[in-house]
Chains A and B, each alone.
Chain A
């Protein structure tokens, strides 16, 4: 008997309607807020971070930024995080962590594993390389944003 989970249809992000994207962002934000024990007053910022991240990640490829989409999205979220911490006094982790959790290419890794179980090593390696590249681009985008706009650091006299 074939395993329907391993041989079933694969995930296909990119064909999701806008309403589903917004609903998914809100649901994920509430889940992340509960799992990471956020304060009630920070839930709104977590929702905003998730919605902005998903919107950027889905609209940038539509604007022609395909390969560099993870880099640009992480760069934007990093800038917003620093600006929010600097001017609105929001802790950096409150905005940054939900954005990064949503942005991490879990679907690519999942699909790569599915292809491994289906003995399709070519597609598995291709998707695995894309997932690795996306992860590198996310880190590079965030580090670049921190380089351009570093968070304020005040020394504490000992």
Chain B
């Protein structure tokens, strides 16, 4: 079995509020970057699958050289190798352009039985890369996956988390699986693995390597264009601290506000 984990490097979540629209549009956020937190669950599951069924787990990402750091984190967690996909032509790709590059990267690497990815990125928030990659590869798509129940030579059985409950689904391999946080608890890499990963040489594949022509990817191929980015207008809130002698008095006052002033209950 072969597993490929698709991951993205994103700003550290604690730093997201500091980024300005100008920095974001310039593609230089000027903050600490880490592996997209949602993707950590995908990396962990990719490693667990290897531990359960044997085989190889490969980390893959599209992005410039700085992305090597996130790929090295995946290696430190236990992935066998990493592949980076980058070319200036990829710059400005929308989600379908990104999905096309990743799909070509997977094919170039010899394909995979299971492709794993996180639910969404903390910066773009589209949550559509898994859908795009499955579509471009023409393989099964399983989303909201909270448990991989079983993998056989030909099929994968998973539990999906719905708003209404949990659903068990069987689909043929190969499959693209996007995972939710419930699926596992990502491991911390050991010191030895971090040291080893820091020395890893990560190969880079260009548009030409992937057989992609520049007009298929990047800003010119994008079907959705970002025309503006702004900070949300902060809601003006001035907290009213509710005082009172007893909890009962405070509770009654709060309900007065909510029912009679705000009329929201």
Tell me whether A and B are bound partners. no
Q: Which chain B residues have a beta carbon within 8 Å of chain A's beta carbons? A: none
